[in-house]
Amino acid sequence: MPRSLDRHSVNTATLGYQMPIGETVDAIARAGFGGIAPWRREVEGGDVDVIARRIRDAGLRVSGYCRSTYIPGTSRAAWAANVDDNRRALRDAARLGAECFVLVVGGLPEGSRDMPGARRQVQDGVADLLAEATTLGVPLALEPLHPMYAADRACVNTIRQALDLCTLLDPARTSHLGIAIDVYHTWWDPELPEAITRAGREGRILAYHVNDWLVPTGDLLMDRGLPGEGVIDLESIGALVRDAGYRGLTEVEVFSHRVWKHPPDRILADCVASIVQGPPTYLQNVR
């Protein structure tokens, strides 16, 4: 087993939800990875403590728990229901021992054109959740998404914007609020080096997600590449993240109809190969 695989985790979406979570846990551990990032759809409705034990027994860390219900709503009551739903998920994140709860914050409420208003709702929602996260000891990881998702998935779109929100809501840097850096969403940003450096300096990097941008991209949501397949300079970005002080797991997160045509063990083998045979110094860079 290549020694550095244990510094990587697998986001279960990468495997296309083809197996029950218990089997997924075992397959990821068997492949040699050091962590897992499960999704709520695999956990909710099951016995969270049993799942948590299975993950622990397999020797895996939980690099993140995916993910928040979108925060903005069409009314104050809808907003409050969304925040409550996230509060419940945070409790599961704590039981799983997740190293962060991933916040994909949501975009415009249905029928709205009010982007500043959506962002205010996000700010208020994260402020509310931060109190719960602090009590539970599960950090909130704001994940900025590529601006092409601003309308329907996340109105937090750059690392700088996410960090500004962290500063506003958590000026004391309590370690309960930070960001998830996903190369798919951030690689294009002309301010990327400064933004990653700032994130490190402010102690905010809670997760690092890798995959690749394919040219052409056939589907804006479900056509990511495995690391090394596309145009993202994983070597340079990995070096920035390492130099910023991040020492957590590198999470492989690939949404791809192309990848999901294969059985999970084959996908895991492809992930291993893409990590091992990817850009030559990529692994050293993120260690």
d(CA 115, CA 108): 6
Site string for Zn ion, 72-111 (x = CB under 5 A): ----------------------------------------
d(CA 196, CA 245): 10
Count residues binding Zn ion (CB under 5 A): 3
Residues 6+ away with beta carbon under 8 Å from 261: none
Min CB(182)–Zn ion separation in Å: 3
The token pair that represents 162 in the structure block:
């996410």
Q: Give the chain's radius of gyration (CA, Å).
A: 18
Which residues partner with 223 through β-bridges? 256
> Of 54 and 153, which has the nearer Cβ to Zn ion?
153
> Of 66 and 169, which has the nearer Cβ to Zn ion?
66
Min CB(171)–Zn ion separation in Å: 26
Site string for Zn ion, 229-268 (x = CB under 5 A): ------------------------x---------------
Min CB(247)–Zn ion separation in Å: 19
The only residue of 209, 228, 246, 282 in contact with Zn ion, by rule CB under 5 A = 209
DSSP track, 18-67:
-S-HHHHHHHHHHTT-SEEE-BHHHHTTS-HHHHHHHHHHTT-EE--BB-
Min CB(102)–Zn ion separation in Å: 7
24-32, 59-67, 181-189, 222-230 -> range binding Zn ion (CB under 5 A)? 181-189
Is 178 within 8 Å of 166 (Cβ atoms)?
yes
Measure the CA dihedral 214/269/257/110, to 10°: -80
Interaction between residue 146 and Zn ion (CB under 5 A): no
**Residues at the contact surface with Zn ion, assessed by CB under 5 A:** 182, 209, 253
